Structure formats: C-alpha cells, structure tokens
Chain A
Amino acid sequence: MATAKPSEPFLSRTWDYITDTQLWKSVFRHGVPSTNRNRVLVVMTNVFLHLHPVKIRKSGIRLKFTWCMGGLTFFLFLVETFTGLLLMFYYRPTVAYAYMDIIDLAEQVPLGIMRELHRWGAHAMVISVWLHMFRVFMTGSYKPPREFNWNVGVILLVLTLLLSFTGYLLPWDQLAIWAITVGSNMARATPLLGHEGPGAQLLALGDVKMVHAGSDARFALLGGRFVGEGALLRFYVLHCVGIPLVAGILMAVHFWRVRKDGGISGPL
C-alpha cells in the first residue's frame, strides 16, 4: 500500500501518498475494508457505523419486508432538525411576534416553503412512525430478545407525538391556541397531580389544597393558568431542545439495540 512502484499511474501514486500521511491515518485507522477483518474494524471504530450492524440479512434490505419505515422516520427526523434549525433564525416565541414571524416566513423570507416542509415532514414522521410500529408488530419483531427495544420504540413514539403537540402551538393562531387549550386540559385530570384528577383532594393540609389550578401538572406545562406567554415559551423550549435531545439519545439506544439484539429481524 505505502510503497507504490514508480511504474504505477500518477493517480494511484497520489492516492498512496495521501493515505500514507499521518493526517489520513489518524482519521482512518484501518485500511480499505476489503477483508472481513477490516470490514469489522472499520465499523467498530466508527461511532456512527458502530450503531449499525456489521452485517444485515438479505431480507433486511427488501423493501417489501421492512417498508424502510424505521429508516424513513430517522430521515424525516433529520429533515425536521435541519428545517427547524433554519426556522429558528426567524421565529421569535413571544405573543407579540410569533404569528407575524410565521407570516413573514411564508411571505417575505426566501424559500417560503421552508415552514411547510417542516410541517409536512412532521405529519409524514407521525405516519411513518406508526407504519414502522405496525411492521414491527406484524413481523413479530417485538418478541424476545427485542422486547426492550420495543419499549424504547414506544417511548420514541410518544416523544414524536409530543413534538407534534408542542410544535402545534408555535404558529400562535386561533387553531393553535384553542387546540392546546383543549389538549392541555387533559392534564387537569392527571391522577394526584391534576387539580381535577382522582386523588388530588387527598393532597391537602386542612382546608388548604396543595394541588389547585395554580400548582398542578397543567400549570407546570403551561407556565400559567391558561395558554399564554408562558405556555408559548415553554412549548418552544420543549419543542426545540428538550424533546429532541431525549429523542436523540433514545434513538442512539434504539439503533444500537437493533444491532445487539441480533440485527434486523428475519421473515417469519
């Protein structure tokens, strides 16, 4: 590899020269993955490839078997991350600006389709997550040893829905405000933690209620008694930082466990 004969063509010699530098070798610790040993080493020493199986079953790349829904969901998550990051350069999560910035994004900012891409991507992601779950169920891939990864997937499903829910408020139009009003009212009925939920009356010191409209789960979610400034900011932070962070960590676990639990499941 390192010692190229002078008779070899120029490109070949240049390639050999580049791959022999310390810079190249510090990044790529192993040679061309032409042997099984090197293939494994290349995967094992790469943090991204490491999450993936070294080998996959032939059926794993059959479209009819997986529908590509897991991979498609991940792709859509990346699309949402990228378009969402771009939207954050223009959108301000305050009552005074939020709706105007959404209009501005559609009408004045170049590529006014960016917000629509984010929205359509979100809808598509919810659909693909469900279809992925459906496929995993129909192929029995939730069975041991994959039951833990099924549970991780269920949490990721909930996080996907919460991302949709928190993103729903951000345009700050009438639909958003009242949809979140209706949705967050469910939190009133949380057992013990919601002021209209079962067991909330038990948490009282004499006549003083500890769980009331100003101290229950809904209040913590909205940062107030109704959907207002506090709710908009909290949903923005959860939508842009909190939930994606948790989802990202869980996705790493999810992909890694696919590998560790025996790779993508085979056809029944």
Chain B
Amino acid sequence: MADEKDPSTPKEPAAGAAPVPTPPMTAATSPSGVQAAPAPRSNAATGAAAGAAPKPAAAEGVSRRGFLKWTTVGWVAFSAACTSGLVASTRFMFPNVLFEPPQSFKVGFPSEYTVGEVDTRWKDAYGVWIVRNSEGFYALIAVCTHLGCSPNWLAAENKFKCPCHGSGFYKTGVNFEGPAPRPLERARIVLSDDGQILVDKSVKFQQEKGEWTKEESFLKI
C-alpha cells in the first residue's frame, strides 16, 4: 500500500509488471499512480457522470503484487482463525472443574484401624483400600490391572477378586490368578499435620518397578 500512495512514479509498476511488449497491456497495468488519481474524480462524479469511464479504471487498479499480497494476508488470517477455532473447541472439551472425588484425601486416624484387616470404607467414595499390617499402612488403588474394573475384597477367601474377568490378588496387592498381568498399584500414604492419614492417588507406586520400597508407598507406625 505504501508505494501506491506515490503518484509521481507511474512507470514503476509498469516495470514491475514484466516486460510485456504490447502497448495495451502496459497501458492497462500502469495502475498504482492512475488508481490514486482517478479515484477521487470518480467519487466526485458519482451521480450524473457515473458512466463507463471510471469503471475499468477501478477494475484494472488491482496490481498483481497487490492481489497476491492481499490474498496471502487473507489466507493467513483465515488459517489463523480456523486454527484458533480448532484449538478453542478442543480446549472446550477439557473442563476446569471436575465433580469427582478429590485425588488427595484424609482417611482418619491410625488408631481407627485394626491390624491385619483390609478396610473397605473408602472404596466407594475414593476407590482405595487401606490395609493395616503389623508394621504400618498401605493404600491399594481399587482398579484391576487387567482392564480397569473394580475388584472386591473377599474377607472369607482372604483375597481381592475382580468380577469382570476373575483376576485375583493377595492382601498385599500381588496378583496370583486370572488375567491380571501385574500387582495392584499403591497410592502415596503419609501422616498429615493433624495426625490423620493422608492418601494421594495422583502419586502411584508399582511393585514391578520396585517402587513399593519407596518411602511414601508405606506408612510406618
């Protein structure tokens, strides 16, 4: 646009428009200067003399360079708008607030638990079992490692059993029957400041990776 404002160089666009020898072409493609000049005239003449004369001038006023420039700007803007629309609608599918139980929660005081028992109180609400043995606590995540169903604790048979495909796990969480390929996962378990047990499901410990020996996978009391 900047060079089109300069009417003193009418030859410049003709040079830019390639060395086509035919006189009508050069006459037609000497626009930028011409375009700036007759435009006000045609505006002034709108009314009575709005005939054939200004019309071809406006039609021929689009230079190749200007056309390509605005086409590029148009396509870039269009692509940017499409991309941002796609990004925005993808982001729309990921809600900021979930109406789900929290990943990190307190499960009462250590004194509430009996040694040697699997506590199923928190399974429905948070999806974990709290197991108390003679040395301390661990939190087993109630998701079968086969295909993700919820196993049940069968106290009479002293094992976890998945109703979907029959995987069985010992009280420790180690698998021993059915299609489950690896032990149940344990969640981070620590004591909070008020003395209650704090379980954090966002931190998981997998036995087959040797993570059950890590500090926060087991709460020593």
Q: Which A residues are in CB contact (< 8 Å) with B100?
A: 224-226, 228
Q: Which of A182, A215, A224 has the most CB of B within 10 A?
A: A182
Q: Which B residues are in CB contact (< 8 Å) with A178?
A: 149, 164
Q: What is the size, in residues, of chain A's interface with B at 8 Å between Cβ atoms?
A: 15
B98 on the A face (CB < 8 A): yes
Closest to A226 in B: B100
Minimum Cβ distance to chain B for residue A29 (Å): 38
Q: Which A residues are in CB contact (< 8 Å) with B98?
A: 214, 224-225, 230
Which residues 65-123 of A have a CB within 8 angstroms of B?
none
Q: What is the size, in residues, of chain B's interface with A at 8 Å between Cβ atoms?
A: 11
A220 on the B face (CB < 8 A): yes
Minimum Cβ distance to chain A for residue B47 (Å): 43
A14 on the B face (CB < 8 A): no
B148 on the A face (CB < 8 A): yes
B67 on the A face (CB < 8 A): no
Q: A224-B100, A225-B100, A226-B100 are in contact. Are A182 and B95 (CB under 8 A)?
A: no
Q: Which A residues are in CB contact (< 8 Å) with B149?
A: 178, 181-182
Minimum Cβ distance to chain A for residue B15 (Å): 48
B2 on the A face (CB < 8 A): no
Which residue of A182, A214, A219, A229 contacts B99 across the interface (Cβ within 8 Å)?
Answer: A229
Q: A224-B100, A225-B100, A226-B100 are in contact. Are A182 and B94 (CB under 8 A)?
A: no
> Is B164 a contact of A182 with CB atoms below 8 Å?
yes
As a 0/1 sequence over residues 60 to 76 of chain B, the CB contacts with chain A under 8 angstroms (1 = contact) are: 00000000000000000
Complex Cα distance, B148 from A228, in Å, reads: 14
B107 on the A face (CB < 8 A): no
Minimum Cβ distance to chain B for residue A178 (Å): 5
**Sampled A-B contacts (14; CB under 8 Å):** A181-B147, A182-B147, A182-B149, A185-B148, A214-B98, A215-B94, A219-B94, A223-B93, A223-B95, A224-B98, A224-B100, A225-B98, A226-B100, A229-B99
By a beta-carbon cutoff of 8 Å, the part of chain A in contact with chain B is: 178, 181-182, 185, 214-215, 219-220, 223-226, 228-230
